[in-house]
């Protein structure tokens, strides 16, 4: 792990969210972004991630990534709206449990569950 910078959102005297920038040379990752469930949908996460993006640009990061779970469409939509439109890594695995997966995620000509 590289140097970390942390942004904290406060409401009154309570911490309601935070975001962390982990720097690895000229690349960085936003991990994690946590927002209190009471404050989700109120732009707290947006303001935190925008601050992280601004800092990444300021310190000349070449690639900024964030990892979202494929089935968490709310997070994917959130990050997409903030400019995370490139996909660089895909985790593929076999699930030996009886977990119910969503289907019809298409990448190229292949269909995956998520």
CATH number at residue 66: 3.40.630.30
User: What does pLDDT average to in each consecutive run of 10 residues of the chain (114 residues)?
Assistant: 86 97 96 96 97 98 96 94 94 94 90 93
Helices (H), 1-114: 44-58, 73-81
Query: What sign for the dihedral angle of Cα 80, 104, 71, 27?
Result: negative
pTM of the model: 0.88
Q: How many domains does the chain contain in total?
A: 1
Indicate the SS3 state at residue 93. coil
In a 13 Å sphere around the CA of 98, the CA atoms on its Cβ side amount to: 0
* pLDDT confidence of residue 104: 86
- Rounded CA gap, 28 and 86, in Å? 15
DSSP string across 78-101: HHHHTT-------------S----
* pLDDT confidence of residue 1: 58
- Rounded CA gap, 108 and 114, in Å? 15
Domain hosting 86: range is: 4-112
């Amino acid at each position: 792990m590289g140097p970390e910078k942390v942004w904290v959102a406060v409401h009154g005297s309570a911490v309601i969210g935070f975001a962390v920038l982990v720097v690895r040379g000229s690349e960085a990752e936003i991990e994690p972004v946590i927002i209190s469930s009471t404050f989700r949908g109120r732009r707290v996460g947006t303001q935190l991630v925008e601050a992280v993006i601004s800092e990444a640009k300021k310190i000349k990061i070449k690639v900024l990534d964030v990892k979202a779970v494929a089935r968490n469409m709310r997070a994917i939509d959130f990050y997409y709206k903030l400019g995370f439109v490139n996909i660089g890594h895909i985790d593929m695995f076999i699930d030996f449990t009886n977990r119910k997966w969503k289907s019809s995620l298409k990448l190229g000509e292949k269909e995956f569950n998520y």
